[in-house]
A = this chain, B = another copy of it.
Amino acid sequence: MADKEREGEENQQLPVVLQLLPIRVMETAGDRYSNKFRFLKAWESSMPTELFLTTHAQSIKALFCSGYTPVPANILRCLPSLQCIVTTSAGLNHIDLAECRRRGIAIANSGDCFSDDAADYSVGLLLDVLRRISPADRYVRQGLWPTKGNFPLGSRLGGKRVGIVGLGRIGYEVAKRLVAFGCNISYYSRKMKSSVAFPYYSDVHDLAVNSDVLVICCAWTKETHHIINRDVLLALGEKGVIINVGRGSLIDEKELIQCLMQGEIGGAGLDVFENEPNVPKELRALDNVVLSPHRAVHTQESNSSLHDLLIANLEAFFSNKPLVSEVEDE
């Protein structure tokens, strides 16, 4: 029997995992999965998706997806045997959670893999905006230093009042770091956290009034869509800085652009946008913003530990063990 055939037969023994769309983070790590699981790749089939799903319905107990893969109720309805979804993302806004809850489908996400890197990046964007590091780098590269002289002064991080919108894992790690820089932290979240001593605001607008900086790191849900609107931006004020490592649609991007162009807020560090990978050209022309292509959570290290975690979740599921990073129902 040829190697290829033997491989094919052995592969047939592996647990089946459904993928609806390609997952970017898998591009460089496929080998780590291929001897453990047999992926059914819906997008590679010539059949319409729902027919493909219905055809394989009985064998599909696990679904593997990214944050860019919509998992709506009509897809879930085609998969009566589905018991587990493993998503490469921290956020779950792409999944119909109500339907999963009703069906008792367990969900595992990226857990803590991204928190440190996202927090680091938030601090990096904030330092960049306040101290003008990226524009200073452009200034030197363009050869302007000898001809135009001193680059304009930035503003000190220490002493700034930083309001964190969403004190989850990432928000907490941001706070921990900024304390070491001498910042004064307060936060907004749905509920006050008994585990931290930072001042709590039950209203984002009130937090903005009392902050020099807002760091947005909450989940994007129906409730948090455009949580940063024009009123909040104006409350932050003309020297205020906003950092977003959550999701683009947490901020009303059109209003943000207006505020930045009119000098109604001071600056912004943005890793996420409403219509990624398209970034409005008005933003790309501004000097008081730092723009980043959704890289806050991605490093060589986080990707490696992400794959460890995702594989551990799938293996746990197929061994009837508890998922490693199961998302608790709230």
Is the CB of A290 closer than 8 A to any CB of chain B? yes
Known interface pairs A131-B124, A133-B124; A295-B154 also in contact (CB < 8 Å): yes
A71 to chain B, nearest CB (A): 22
Which among A87-95, A113-121, A184-192 touches the partner chain? A113-121
A156 touches B302 (CB 8 A): yes
Chain B CB within 8 A of A140 CB: yes
Distance from A312 Cβ to chain B, minimum over Cβ atoms (Å): 20
A158 at the interface (CB under 8 A from B): yes
Chain B nearest CB, measured from A183 CB (Å): 10
The verdict on A291 contacting chain B, using a C-beta distance below 8 Å, is yes
Q: Given A153-B303, A278-B146, check contact A131 B140 (CB 8 Å).
A: no
Known contacts: A127-B127, A180-B180. The answer to whether A136 contacts B299 by CB under 8 A is no
Bound Cα distance from A323 to B123, whole angstroms: 37
> Which chain B residues border A157 with CB–CB below 8 Å?
120
Are A291 and B154 in contact (CB-based, < 8 A)? no
Check B180–A120 contact: CB distance below 8 A.
Answer: no
0/1 interface trace, chain A 105-138, chain B, CB 8 Å (1 if under): 0000000000011001101110110011110111
A321 close to chain B: CB less than 8 A: no
CB pair A125 B133 closer than 8 Å: yes
Whole-angstrom distance between the alpha carbons of A124 and B133 in the complex? Answer: 8
Contacts of A198 in B (CB 8 A): none
* A104 sits at the interface (CB 8 A): no
Question: With A and B bound together, what is the CA distance between A295 and B127 in angstroms?
Answer: 13
Identify which of A138, A159, A276, A303 gathers the most chain B CB atoms within 10 Å of its CB: A138
B299 touching A140, Cβ below 8 Å: no
A128: B residues at CB distance < 8 A: 124, 128, 133-134, 137
A139-B290 Cα distance, complex, nearest whole Å: 11
Considering the complex, give the chain B residue whose CB is closest to the CB of A292: B136
Residues from chain B with a CB closer than 8 A to the CB of A154 are 295, 298-300
Which residues does chain B contribute within 8 Å of A299, judged by CB atoms? Answer: 131, 153-156
A127 contacts B131, CB within 8 Å? Answer: no
Told that A133-B292, A136-B292, A154-B298 touch, could you supply 5 new A-B pairs with CB distance under 8 A?
A120-B156, A120-B157, A123-B123, A128-B134, A153-B298
30 pairs, CB–CB < 8 Å, chain A vs chain B: A24-B150, A116-B156, A116-B158, A116-B181, A120-B127, A123-B127, A124-B124, A125-B133, A128-B128, A128-B134, A128-B137, A132-B295, A133-B292, A137-B290, A137-B291, A138-B138, A140-B291, A145-B278, A145-B293, A146-B277, A146-B278, A151-B293, A153-B298, A155-B299, A155-B301, A156-B301, A159-B301, A176-B180, A177-B177, A177-B181
Residues in chain A within 8 A of chain B (CB atoms) = 24, 116-117, 120-121, 123-125, 127-128, 131-134, 136-141, 143, 145-146, 149-151, 153-159, 176-177, 179-182, 276-279, 281, 284, 290-293, 295, 298-303
The 9 closest A-B pairs by CB, nearest first: A124-B127, A180-B180, A156-B301, A140-B291, A145-B277, A156-B299, A151-B293, A146-B277, A145-B293
